Amino acid sequence: MAHQDQPHRAKKSLGQNFLTDQNICRKIVDALAPSPDDTIIEIGPGRGALTEYLVETGAKLRVVEMDDYLADRLEARWPGLDVIRADALKFPWMDLNGAGPCKIIGNLPYNVGSKLIWDIVSQVTTLERAVFMVQHEVALRLTAEPGVKAYGGLTAWVRNFSDTRYLFKVPPTVFRPQPKVDSAVVRFDPLPENARPEDPDRLAGLVKLLFQQRRKQISTILKKRMTPAVELWFQEEGVSPALRPENLTPAQFRALSLIY
């Protein structure tokens, strides 16, 4: 508790926008459908706005906080709380798989939200549900349907691992300090084991390749990879290779990634 007497200033570099509205905090926690039997991991607990309601659920709770000052304060407020002082971007998410089912929640720092979600949905195979608050624009991407502008690499990737649901919008006025943009809460319900990609590396490769040039036709981007087998696949899917990457469904990305 080395810094206890120093006032805490929100650190912009750590995306510190703290929630101040109790109703919204409760709504976010409720979206996780928590029960006392759950193991819940909270990312970026900050000053404990969500943690307070998570503690009330009686679930086994672990929190990952990178800011030492805030970690000290959390430990002082809830002695015995499992506070992991770590950068969530470097956290070994796969290690959770050995410890049974878990739920993950967080009002995510905006600069790292997409990357964290990319990693978590694909690496935590024991995930039962996740609820994340992200920038509104990211929430639209996570929940977009094929064919629209918001549908991109993040969408195609995440939806191969999880259903996503846009829950509600959150205005800047309920944070201190206030962010410049709207936020939104998204729920993630993982797909069953047999619906997950067989070869995530190949899928990631295809998603990145196609969306790096999303305005081009798929056949132009794939060029020499348009083998007879790939041509046949497009025919059988009833999809024209002259379409753009955003026109492929997440399942089509998965299938194409195995043959291209």
From residue 91, give the alpha-carbon distance in Å to each of 68, 84, 116, 141, 203.
16, 10, 10, 24, 22
- Nearer of residues 28 and 140 to ligand SAM, judged by Cβ: 28
Q: Which residue, 65 or 246, has its beta carbon nearer to ligand SAM?
A: 65
- When asked if residue 113 is in the footprint of ligand SAM (CB under 6 A), the reply is no
Q: Which is nearer to ligand SAM, 115 or 149 (CB)?
A: 115
Stretch that binds ligand SAM, among 38-46, 96-104, 215-223, 251-259 (CB under 6 A): 38-46
34 scored as a contact of ligand SAM (CB under 6 A): no
Among 40, 53, 93, 107, binds ligand SAM (CB under 6 A): 107
x/- contact string, 165-194, with ligand SAM (CB under 6 A)? ------------------------------
- Is 89 a residue that touches ligand SAM (CB under 6 A)? yes
Residue ranges binding ligand SAM (CB under 6 A):
14-19, 44-47, 49-50, 64-67, 70, 87-89, 107, 109, 112
